[in-house]
Amino acid sequence: MFNKLEELIKKCEGNVLSVCLDDKLINLLNNNNKLYIYANKEIDKDLLIKNYKRYNVKIEYSEYKTGYILIIDNTKSKNKFIMDKLYFIKDTFYNITEFIGNLLVN
């Protein structure tokens, strides 16, 4: 899910973007080196926070009745090509194991 979200964020430049990932709604606003993510409570906030912490960003979190807002300040963010590929492999492995676990449980 995070890889799909990253691709959509790159396309969201200064506009509000509503995204439906796996039947869950996420609203994104990319503005002046800050990324605002509003999501339903169904979406795992801990996974989003963990994945953004990789890039040395400041994250503010506010919870509401229907969901939560993450404000990500990416003025000092850094990404490296090799590390991005390693994170991609790690995330893919995590998603595969989660999928297999869900199949076994169901």
Q: Which domain holds residue 71?
A: 2-77
Closest Cα partner for 43 from 73, 65, 23, 72? 23
Q: Based on the number of CB atoms within 10 Å of its own CB, is 72 exposed (0-12), middle (13-18) or buried (19 or more)?
A: buried
User: What Cα–Cα distance (Å) separates residue 44 from each residue in 2, 14, 47, 67, 86?
Assistant: 11, 25, 6, 11, 22
Residue 45 lies in a domain: yes
Q: Give the pLDDT band (50/70/90) at residue 100.
A: very high
Residue 102 lies in a domain: no
Q: Give the pLDDT band (50/70/90) at residue 8.
A: low
Q: What is the rounded average pLDDT of the residues 64-74?
A: 82
Residue 31 in this model has a pLDDT that exceeds 80 = no
Residue 106 lies in a domain: no
Structural domain tally of the chain?
1
Residue 103 lies in a domain: no
State the Cα–Cα distance between residues 2 and 26, nearest whole angstrom: 12
Residue 83 lies in a domain: no
Residue 39 in this model has a pLDDT that exceeds 90 = no
Residue 90 lies in a domain: no
Whole-model pTM above 0.75? Answer: no
Closest Cα partner for 78 from 58, 59, 60, 56? 56
Query: Which CATH number goes with the domain that contains 70?
Result: 3.30.200
Q: What is the rounded average pLDDT of the residues 8-35?
A: 60
Residue 99 lies in a domain: no
